[in-house]
Amino acid sequence: MAGKRHFILERALKEIKDGMNVNLGIGMPTLIADRIPEDVHVMLQSENGLLGIGAYPKEGEADPDLINAGKETVTVVPGASYFDSAESFAMIRGGHIDLAILGGMEVSEEGDLANWMIPGKMIKGMGGAMDLVQGAGRTIVIMDHVNKHGESKVKKRCSLPLTGQGVVDCLITDLAVFQFKDDEMRLVEIQPGATLHEVQNKTEADFLIDDGLTSYQ
């Protein structure tokens, strides 16, 4: 899993451009903070009221007052600012977040996202994902291609409650990269170690194959 996660994170990192304001969702997306190159200047935003998140703190340097939306201790970069959650969501809803990178439970061929709850399981709340998928300039979803039972998480229709309809711009899994545009789901890249045959077999959704498909076979 560690190797597969590496490919997901490294590919997601390519979506982050210098000068962006970026929100990293809870879970795997937060690991991207440690991978951003020093010459790429971005401001990472967290719904709980922080703009300018840095890397995870080294041992013994954690400040319990500095946390991200997942309640993990973080550091801040020069120029960081703190504010209440109302101000934070005003940034998101006002269109001031260029890119949101979120985890996913299911993504449909129409770009629908389900990532906030599984019926019957206890949840703390819906978090900020519903606002982010509507307010951010682009939404990137990163997740495993199949669940622990080997079932595809890339669906014709999501079976779980939706976070948003038609909100996904790019899906990055351990097997492939898909782009969503003009009501089409298009396979644009195959991850290292995967094959087109494997992607087709493990994807429930119908998708087109891009003419410029990049494959590492």
The catalytic residues are 47
Q: What DSSP letter does each residue of 53-91 carry, written as one string?
A: E-SPPPTT---TT-B-TTS-B--EEEEEEE--HHHHHHH
Judged by DSSP in three states, 24 sits in: strand
- Cα radius of gyration (the chain): 17
* Amino acid identity for residue 145 in this structure: H
**Burial class of residue 186 (count of CB atoms within 10 Å of its CB; 0-12, 13-18, 19+):** middle
End-to-end CA distance of the chain: 19
Which positions ≥6 away from 107 have C-beta within 8 Å? Answer: 113, 114, 141, 143, 153, 154, 155, 158, 168, 171, 205
Residue 198 phi, psi (nearest 5)? -65, -45
Judged by DSSP in three states, 103 sits in: strand
The two structure tokens encoding residue 47? 């719904």
Place of tokens 């020093």: 38
